[in-house]
Amino acid sequence: MSKGIALVTGGAGFIGSHLTDGLLGLGYRVTALDNLLTGREENLAAARKHAAFTFVRHDITQPLPDIGEVDCIAHLASPASVIDYQRYPEETALTNSWGTIQMLRLAVKHRATFLLASTSEVYGDPKEHPQKETYWGNVNPNGVRSCYDESKRFAEAMTMVYVRKYNLNARIVRIFNTYGPRMRKNDGRVISNFVNQALEGTPITVYGDGTQTRSFCYVSDLVAGLVKAMTSRDAAGEVINLGNPEEYTVQDLAEKIKTMTHSSSAITHNGLPDDDPRERKPDIAKAQRLLGWEPTISVTDGLEKTIAYYRTLS
Ligand code: NAD
Ligand code: UDP
């Protein structure tokens, strides 16, 4: 018996494809909607083996095709890595603004449950640490990251308009740095860069002095949190951080990956990109309380799995 029909925008991406697999495993019928801007069809190889899976290649900023019945929408479409959204700034801003409005309208039409994949980037370069959902953030409104940060903030604002005006059953999750298999080798994020540099014996490129911090969540933990947020009644109308509070400086992360891969790579220091947040760590008390969720995979265990994955590609 089907649990319902889920639409996953960005379903061919890194997180979206894992969520698709997870929902199919739970008994949902799943349609993945993706224009393959930063995603890949090969991420959906496992999903394609399910009769309950459909892939629709489409740009969500364009008029939508007939999707059929939908019970829940997980809206993940958007470039997410810093180099991706700086390569596609206009596409990113439009996807998170107009694309989100189109998905919200679709949710209202079908009375579907809606989940917005927002981001820790809405906190900008935070002046509160760790970051709680109540913190309003410190974002440069027109800097090089603003195409992403500000359009995600707009997506949050619009989602709450639909909650208040149309009584939409929506929740907003703020995803903190997530990693694992299917992250593109060259997508520019710190873990994919460092692991592949270490495996190839090329310099591990720490930007700046490496004292900035991030907190890293393994993708299966994140997907478990997304499913709980999507299905929990208590999450309706709420904003919830999802991430792993295990915090590292970028320098320590480089050294850890070098050790774990037994790499001979040098660790080099390059320029720090503009508006790079100094520190980031989620306060996950709300997710623990509302969803009964917390991560279960340590950074060491998650890195082991991720290193093993990238070894299969090299
Ligand atoms: P990703 O780039 O792998 O996936 C994004 C997917 O969206 C891609 O498959 C891409 O082709 C698709 N897409 C982009 N624009 C589209 C459009 N106009 N129409 C249809 N599809 C479109 O990135 P990801 O890491 O899987 O991120 C997924 C979501 O999670 C994003 O919304 C991102 O902002 C959010 N997020 C991710 C992280 C992280 O650490 N990975 C952190 C915070 C938030
Ligand atoms: N970073 C780095 N070297 C790299 C890639 C990233 O030092 O090769 C740093 C980056 O400057 C930032 C942190 O690692 O401080 C996380 O970067 P990422 O792009 O993965 O995510 P985000 O900045 O969006 O958190």
Is this structure's pTM higher than 0.75?
Answer: yes
What is the number of other CB atoms lying within 10 angstroms of the CB of residue 55?
18
DSSP one-letter string for the chain: ----EEEEETTTSHHHHHHHHHHHHHT-EEEEEE--SS--GGGGTTGGGSTTEEEEE--TTSPPPP----SEEEE--S--SHHHHHHSHHHHHHIIIIIHHHHHHHHHHHT-EEEEEEEGGGGBS-SSSSBPTT---B--TTSTTHHHHHHHHHHHHHHHHHHHHH---EEEEEE--EE-TTS-TTS--HHHHHHHHHHHTPPEEEETTS--EEE-EEHHHHHHHHHHHHH-GGGTT-EEEES---EEEHHHHHHHHHHHTT--PPEEEEPPPTT--S---B--HHHHHHH-----S-HHHHHHHHHHHHHHH-
Sorted by sequence, the CB contacts under 8 Å of residue 215 that are 6+ apart come out as 176, 177, 243, 244, 245, 246, 247, 248, 280, 281, 282
Ligand 2 atom closest to the Cα of residue 193 is: 8
State the Cα–Cα distance between residues 174 and 122, nearest whole angstrom. 8
Cα separation, 34 vs 12, in Å, equals 6
How far away, in angstroms, is 280 Cα from ligand 2 center? 11
Smallest CA separation from ligand 2 atom 3, residue: 206
Q: What's the 301 CA to ligand 2 centre distance in angstroms?
A: 20
Q: Which of 184, 190, 303 has most ligand 2 atoms within 8 Å of its beta carbon, as the pocket-test mutant? A: 190
Q: Is 177 in the pocket of ligand 2 (CB under 6 A)?
A: yes
pLDDT at 2: 79
Q: Whose CA is nearest to atom 24 of ligand 2?
A: 82
Distance 114 CA to ligand 1 centre (A): 16
Instruction: Quote the ligand 1 centre to 84 CA distance (angstroms).
Output: 10
pLDDT at 73: 98
Nearest ligand atom owner, CA of 85: 1
Q: Which of 290, 273, 213, 265 is nearest to 244 (CA)?
A: 213
| Ligand lying closest to the C-alpha of residue 103 | 1
Q: How many CB atoms lie within 10 A of CB 282?
A: 27
Around Cβ 156, how many Cβ atoms within 10 Å? 19
Out of 60, 175, 220, give the residue to mutate to test ligand 1, the one with the largest number of ligand atoms within 8 Å of its CB: 175
Q: Whose CA is nearest to atom 1 of ligand 2?
A: 190
Are the C-beta atoms of residues 149 and 157 closer than 8 Å to each other? no
Residue 309 tokens read as 């994955």
- What are the tokens at 204? 């591990």
CA of 53 to the centre of ligand 2 (A): 34
- Please list every protein residue whose CB sits less than 6 Å from any atom of ligand 1: 9-10, 12-16, 34-39, 59-61, 76-80, 84, 95, 99, 117, 119, 175, 177-178
Q: Which CATH superfamily is domain 5-178+217-245+280-295 in?
A: NAD(P)-binding Rossmann-like Domain (3.40.50.720)
87 in the Ramachandran plot: left (φ > 0), alpha (ψ -120 to 50) or beta?
Answer: alpha
Contact 42, 65 (CB under 8 A): no
CB-ligand 2 contact for 276 (6 Å cutoff): yes
Looking at the DSSP assignment, which residues form a beta bridge with residue 179? 218
Cis omega (within 30 of 0) on the bond before 130? yes
pLDDT at 85: 96
Q: How far apart are CA 194 and CA 199, in angstroms?
A: 9
- Which atom of ligand 1 sits closest to the CA of residue 189? 40
pLDDT given for residue 314 in this prediction: 72
Report the nearest atom of ligand 2 relative to the CA of 273. Answer: 11
Q: How many CA atoms lie within 13 A of 277 on its CB side?
A: 27
Could you tell me the residue ranges of all domains in the chain? 5-178+217-245+280-295
Catalytic residue among 28, 88, 123, 148: 148
Our answer to whether residue 123 is catalytic in this structure is no
pLDDT tens, position by position, for the chain (314 residues)? Answer: 679 999 999 999 999 999 999 999 999 999 999 999 999 999 999 999 999 999 999 999 999 999 999 999 999 999 999 999 999 999 999 999 999 999 999 999 999 999 999 999 999 999 999 999 999 999 999 999 999 999 999 999 999 999 999 999 999 999 999 999 999 999 999 999 999 999 999 999 999 999 999 999 999 999 999 999 999 999 999 999 999 999 999 999 999 999 999 999 999 999 999 999 999 999 999 999 999 999 999 999 999 999 999 999 97
